[in-house]
Amino acid sequence: MTVTGGTTGAPPTQLLADGDVPVDISRVPAREAAERELSDPMYHQNDPSLLQRGLDRFWEWLDDLFGAASEATPGGTIGLVVIVLAVIALVAALWWRLGTPQRTSGTAGDSLFADGPRTARDHRSAAAHHASAGRWNEAVQERMRAIVRSLEERTLLDPRPGRTADEAAAEAGRSLPSHADDLRLAARAFDDVTYGGRTADEAAYRRVEQLDTALERTRPTLDTASTGAPA
C-alpha cells in the first residue's frame, strides 16, 4: 500500500491499495501509521544509549561552564587553568596538613596495644621482622609499641589500657624532656600509618628505631620520673 499527500491544508491522504486504487484517509490516522512505522527498532539501532546521552549533556554543560568562566577570567583560558591548578594545590595542601583524622583520646579504636600484652622485646623483634621484609608501616607501628612498653617496664609510664600513642608521647615527654619532640614525631608517624592511610618508608622507621635506642640510654628527669601518667 502506497501513501500519497498528507501535508497540512492538503486534501485527505490517499493510500494506493494493491490494485493501485486510491483510498482516502484523514491526516490523523496517517500520522499514527507513520509513528508506528518509525517506532520499529530497526530505525533506532544506532541511537546513543541513555547513558551516552546523559554524558553528552554533561560534557556540553561542562564545556559551556568553562567557556563562560574563561570569558569572565582575566587572561582567558590560561588564567582559568592557573586558577584551577591553584585550587588543586590548595586542596592537596589541606589534605596533607589535615589528612590524619582527629580522634577523641582514649577510645577503644585508638588504643596503642590492640592485641594484648607483649614485652618490649617482643615488639622490637616483630618490628625487625617487618623491616627485613620491607613492611615499613607495620615496622613503625611495632617499634612505637616497643618504645611505650619499654617505658612502662622502666616505670616511666604507668601501664594503662586504652592509652593512645599521642597520650604516651605527651606523658613520656615529661619524664624525658630532651626527647619530647622526637616522641611526638614518633607518635605522629604511628598515627599516620595506622589511622591516616599514609605509607611509611625506611627513613621513617629508622627514626623511630633510633629514638627507641636513644631512650634506652637516657636517664629520666628526677623530678618527673616518679609521676608517670597524671593522677
pLDDT tens readout for residues 173-186: 998 999 999 999 99
Model pLDDT, residue 104: 40
- Give domain status of residue 103, yes or no: no
Q: Which of 17-21, 72-76, 101-105, 221-225 has the weakest average pLDDT? A: 101-105
Bigger pLDDT: 19 vs 127: 127
139 backbone φψ class: left, alpha, beta (φ>0; ψ -120 to 50):
alpha
Instruction: Give the mean pLDDT of 101-129.
Output: 70
Shared domain check, 165 and 83: no
Instruction: Give the mean pLDDT of 99-121.
Output: 59
Entry pTM? 0.51
Shared domain check, 172 and 87: no
Shared domain check, 69 and 132: no
Model pLDDT, residue 91: 78
Burial class (CB in 10 A: 0-12, 13-18, 19+), 163: buried
Mean pLDDT of the chain: 76
Shared domain check, 191 and 129: yes
User: What is the dihedral angle through the alpha carbons of 121, 122, 126, 127, rounded to the nearest 10 degrees?
Assistant: -30
Sign of the CA dihedral with 154 first, then 157, 160, and 166 last: negative
Strand pairing of 22-25 and 2-4? unpaired
Q: Which amino acid is at 64?
A: D
Shared domain check, 128 and 206: yes
131 backbone φψ class: left, alpha, beta (φ>0; ψ -120 to 50):
alpha
Q: Which of 9-23, 62-76, 140-154, 200-214 has the weakest average pLDDT? A: 9-23
Model pLDDT, residue 230: 43
Instruction: Tell me the residue range of the domain where 188 lies.
Output: 120-217
- Give domain status of residue 50, yes or no: no
Shared domain check, 125 and 203: yes
Using DSSP, state whether 195 is helix, strand or coil.
coil
- Give domain status of residue 195, yes or no: yes
Shared domain check, 145 and 64: no
Q: CB of 104 within 8 A of CB of 116?
A: no
Bigger pLDDT: 4 vs 66: 66
Model pLDDT, residue 103: 45
Shared domain check, 202 and 162: yes
**Residue 13 confidence (pLDDT) above 60:** no
Shared domain check, 190 and 143: yes
- Give domain status of residue 52, yes or no: no
Shared domain check, 198 and 133: yes
Number of domains in the chain: 2
- Give domain status of residue 105, yes or no: no
- CB count within 10 Å of CB 170 equals 17
- Give domain status of residue 26, yes or no: no
- Give domain status of residue 113, yes or no: no
Bigger pLDDT: 221 vs 97: 221
Bigger pLDDT: 58 vs 15: 58
**Residue 143 confidence (pLDDT) above 80:** yes
Shared domain check, 161 and 79: no
- Give domain status of residue 210, yes or no: yes
**Residue 1 confidence (pLDDT) above 90:** no
Model pLDDT, residue 53: 79
